Chains A and B, each alone.
Chain A
């Protein structure tokens, strides 16, 4: 009987699972994106993408959401990480407290915020009214202009701790020697931050931004719970539009085509981000 190499049976389950759960569905979804409702080959789904105004709007809104959330969450996360890192005692307590929002499942966080945002019965407007601020017409998730801001606020509240956590870990990994040398040389706080902290933190920053950007590009759960993409189409994102097309309208071909375009856009964005950061490091 033919003998198999000793390792084959032990790696076969992992390879089998990878093939069954990742590679096969990926190839299958490529096929689906080129399949018409009648079952024949078609490139019409990709052609339709260029005429679909709603898909373009969803892409634009996703990019807007991603950019604002990433910039604000990074700015706040870095500031908090620097602040907590500079603390002597009580650092652990602050760190644990700041991480609390991130520990909530996004769906739970969204449900809580939906209650908070309720214009008549919510805590937010209730507090504003109690403070004498006329909040009667502050409609948060229901207003065309305020809905995107409201969902962004929830994202920032929940996911700033993620960036804080990564950047905080990065700060702790920076050796103390350069700081001591800078102190002896009489460098200012800003010079220390710009010339020591930031360059040494750069690998962590790249990783944190990349992970968060990829997560933001597929934002779904919070918006689904808070606004369902509304009012009108004001908070619709690519993931929500793909979900609706696939599972509400059952047009898997078009949904698969949109997914691949979204994947391509995310890849281009990630590569651009990496290249930009590398170019920054080279300077």
Chain B
């Protein structure tokens, strides 16, 4: 049997009708982190959509997938997203090659905290605005510090002394930290590393973590590890927080996203007993790691004007205050100082203090790779398979190789 070309095309036409080819595309697509930080943005996008009569599509992606989807979209310039949520260490990589649309105004509202604004810039041009003002905080059991007559944890030496005393006096561990390879162990180590006066890179850009200060910081981390639960070398945020919530550990570095759970009696055995403080100091003043979430518009966005309109609106004071009520730390000073919010969220003063001096991870497009290499050796040191000086020496060697590529 022979058939004509028209007959051959017919099944495809039918298939097109059946699968609903065509249809109107959404008028704004927002890529959001599927976590507590993204919930407020989802609510804001819906509010903006209904106010502007727009068909807003929210693409909800888990943290691990968000970066890869965004990077694929930006490098292939598909314009799949109009607004993207960016964790600040990703920014140098994502903003490369003009993949993000620059802001028309290069003088953002001075109400934004400077530490948050600094990570939105590449070569002097702003490509993003800060949306969630995340920075690490030091969580500690105020009741136990009172019971043992301990001063508030101002130095890391004080933290170690308190961990020993509380661990000896209570059926609990004095400290708990994230030791899983990659981001968890690096993020928990950096405040300690910086406080000991160490730096990831020298002024000339060479890896410098194997300095004496860096090795001392790692030795100190292992000392703290002796007062942490066994197996902490595999811990991530959920295990660390579970120890605090279950009252089996007394102190840790943590992110603001966990504050609400600590004070929720339904989830926590220590509601009202945890105090939140800026990072302890040691040889240098303590600084927290910055983990700000930014909003940006891909250069290939198909609705660039509308996307900027949404971005400016979402980061303005009133929507940011509503986001703060969802539990998102703000990036505007005026929102931090809002009396209503301060009455509702007791950690806000400590969060502001921490955020003002918080330090970003090194600004390099290869940070993910560097963090992974550093994390492997830190994790091995914490697992007891590498001595601190050897771990730092190997990390410096591998990171030099990454930087040279």
Contacts and interface: CB of A to CB of B under 8 A. Distances in A.
Interface residues of A, number: 40
A221 interface: no
Contacts of A229: 181
Nearest to B382: A231
A60 interface: no
B233 A9 contact: no
A80 to B, nearest CB: 32
A230 B229 contact: no
Interface string B230-253: 111111000100110010100000
A266 interface: no
A137 interface: yes
B231 A139 contact: yes
B107 interface: no
Interface string A253-271: 0000000000000000000
Given A120-B229, A231-B380, A147 B234 contact: yes
A136 B302 CA distance: 57
A21 interface: no
Given A9-B8, A142-B235, A249 B383 contact: no
Contacts of B11: 9-10, 13
Contact of B242 (A1, A5, A121): A121
Interface string A237-250: 00000001001111
Given A121-B246, A142-B230, A248-B372, 14 more contacts: A3-B4, A9-B3, A12-B8, A120-B248, A143-B383, A144-B385, A227-B234, A228-B180, A230-B180, A230-B376, A231-B234, A233-B376, A234-B383, A249-B368
A279 interface: no
Interface in B343-386: 366, 368-369, 372, 376-377, 379-380, 382-386
A232 interface: yes
Contacts of A251: 369
A233 B380 contact: yes
B71 interface: yes
A77 interface: no
Contacts of A131: none
B191 interface: no
B71 A230 contact: no
Contacts of A119: 229-231
